Amino acid sequence: MVKKMRFKKTFILLLCSLLSGCAGQSSGLQIFSRLFGGTPETVKVQKGDTLYSIAKRYDMSILELIELNGIDSPNQLYVGQVLKTTSAKSYVVKRGDTLASIARRYQTTYQDLAKQNNLKAPYHLNVGQKLTINGQKENTASSAGQKTTANAKKSTTSAASQSTTSVSVKRSAKFVWPVSGKVISTFGATGKGRKNDGINISAPLGTAVKAGDKGVVAYAGNGLKGFGNLILIKHPDGYITAYAHTDQMLVKKGQNVARGEKIATVGKTGGVTTPQLHFEVRAGKKAVNPKNYLP
């Protein structure tokens, strides 16, 4: 056992030293798939992939990837090989739990959690019920908070009521407009088989871009081709807003932002030639019409 662990540590150090040049090759396309669609359960090895690049792409450690797939040598990796990237975990529902609170604890969305467990709205949960959670790590701070909340519950009835109201698909408040200007491209089909997952708003270069609501910056960078400088904000209720083609980005990944806070300035980065903001709203992984969520 000791010999096996020593081999794995040596193996990982060797990979990191030999393959460190692959660190910047993670495709920007996976940023959206990870944030909007979650990590896939399996991935197929493509030409040029390494254990290092795959682990980085899906926010895993190389050791997790190795142990999950029983890999003993880097030579085992080949094009077309299917690798596991998630391991299913089970969670037993406790008194006071809601689908939303469990999703927060495991850093996922209630929509994904409902889909994994074939749950339908209004998502009633029963104490003792087992839920499958694919490849999500528990947020211990959230878990501690949930224990406090559970102790404060007075009855099973109030817990059931909470499970219904806290996971409503409709937002209790609208997002604020991220920028003032003319909508030059609307949500939906744009012709030639193309679709706009958001809206594009024309505004002068340098105009302030505001956060639609409070949340945490999940991404701030320019790794997604065509979107230029892009900011993604994850909101407490599972919604995500995207702000693309910006000029200056004034926030960083992991930063908490307030509703209406200035997060960037309007630019013309990415695949546009005039100053504008591309704005998206996503309910979990589903793109929804931003105009339905704006005042």
Summarised one tens digit per residue, pLDDT across range 260-293 is 999 999 999 988 999 999 999 998 778 899 999 9
Looking at the chain, the whole-number percentage of residues with pLDDT higher than 70 is 69
Looking at per-residue pLDDT, the higher value among 109 and 136 belongs to 109
**Count of structural domains, the chain:** 3
In a domain, 174, yes or no: no
Indicate the range of 2-6, 160-164, 228-232 predicted with least confidence: 160-164
CATH number at 241 reads: 2.70.70.10
Does the pLDDT of residue 14 top 50, yes or no?
no
Shared-domain flag, residues 193 and 287: yes
Q: Does the pLDDT at position 187 exceed 80? A: yes
One-letter identity of residue 67: E
Are residues 133 and 200 both part of a single domain?
no
pLDDT tens, position by position, 51-66: 888 877 776 777 778 8
Q: Is residue 172 part of a domain?
A: no
44/98 same-domain check: no
Q: What is the pLDDT of residue 32?
A: 59
Domain stops at, among 84, 107, 138: 84
Tell me, what's the pLDDT at 74? 66
- Asked if residue 142 and residue 190 are part of one domain, the reply reads no
Residue 26 binned pLDDT confidence (cut-offs 50, 70, 90): very low
In a domain, 173, yes or no: no
More confident residue, 13 or 289: 289
The pTM of this model reads: 0.52
3-state SS record for the chain: CHHHHHHHHHHHHHHHHHHHHHHHHCCCHHHHHHHHCCCCCEEECCCCCCHHHHHHHCCCCHHHHHHHHCCCCHHHCCCCCEEECCCEEEEECCCCCCHHHHHHHCCCCHHHHHHHCCCCCCCCCCCCCEEEEECCCCCHHHHHHHHHHHHHCCCHHHHHHHHHHCCCCCCCCCCCCCCCCEEEECCEEEECCEEECCEEEECCCCCEEECCCCEEEEEEECCCCCCCEEEEEECCCCEEEEEEEEEEECCCCCCEECCCCEEEEEECCCCCCCCEEEEEEEECCEEECHHHHCC
Q: pLDDT band for position 231 (50/70/90)?
A: very high
| Residues 68 and 101 occupy one common structural domain | no
